[in-house]
Amino acid sequence: MKRVLNAMPRYKVGTHKGMQVIREYSGKGDAKQTREIQTNGKVYADMQKKLELFNSVSERERQFFDEINRRHLAAPANFRFVRDRSRFNVAYWNREVPCSNNIECNTEYYDDYGFNVRSRGEMIVGNALKSLGLEAKYEPLVDLKGLKKKSPDYSFPVHIIDRCYFVEFMGMADDEEYIDDNAEKIRLYMRNGILPGRDLILISGTKNWIPPQESIARQIASFINNAVISAYNKRSFEE
């Protein structure tokens, strides 16, 4: 969570000449910059959303360390995480090649990483990942058992626990044929040890509804928080 927070600008609410403003602080030392937005217009509304996201991530960081304290686990200087031995680790993610399924994509949608994606929903998912300061790759090929390969919408690494995770956006969850096609893909993931909720984030939408970016970002941040918490146990503090 510290990695995510350190990648984000800092925000505070204040006043300037009697008007409420949001201040954005970015950079450190000589490179530190401040931007001030007053309470009007679209820019302020966008900044308010970023402030809410920053506060949400900060709250999850607080909850993480509260959980450590609740369990009476005092992390020593040589603390290390007990890492899952999954083959889907950071080294695996580093070997992945984005957009490697050779299926042409030519839409108007580009996410904040610069990837040309297949739908507005996928663009919003990519933007949510980017807003959290995460690295991500779009549609990398994943080797599965039986010489089969599938491309999740996104994959991203969590360096502190040496894992990579996958994201699938199910954009037509109200279409039976679409559900059947993707159910087979999910079964194939599960046969290869990629489990929804543990290794795979599923985000659903319908033909007429897409979750807002802030909601998707909260879902991803919560997933990462739970993954990090579950990646250690008490033995790692007692060794």
**Structure confidence at residue 151 (pLDDT):** 93
CA dist., res. 23 & res. 232, Å (int): 37
**Structure confidence at residue 234 (pLDDT):** 40
Query: Right CATH number for 90-229 from 3.40.50, 3.30.360, 1.10.3470, 3.40.1350?
Result: 3.40.1350
**Structure confidence at residue 59 (pLDDT):** 81
Residue type for position 104: E
pTM of the full structure: 0.66
Per-residue tens of pLDDT for the chain, all 239 residues:
566 666 667 777 777 777 777 787 777 666 667 777 776 667 777 777 777 887 887 787 777 777 666 655 555 555 555 555 688 999 999 999 999 998 999 999 999 999 999 999 999 999 999 999 899 999 999 988 765 678 999 999 998 888 999 999 999 999 999 999 899 889 989 989 899 999 999 999 999 999 999 999 999 999 998 888 777 654 444 44
Region(s) of the chain under CATH 3.40.1350: 90-229
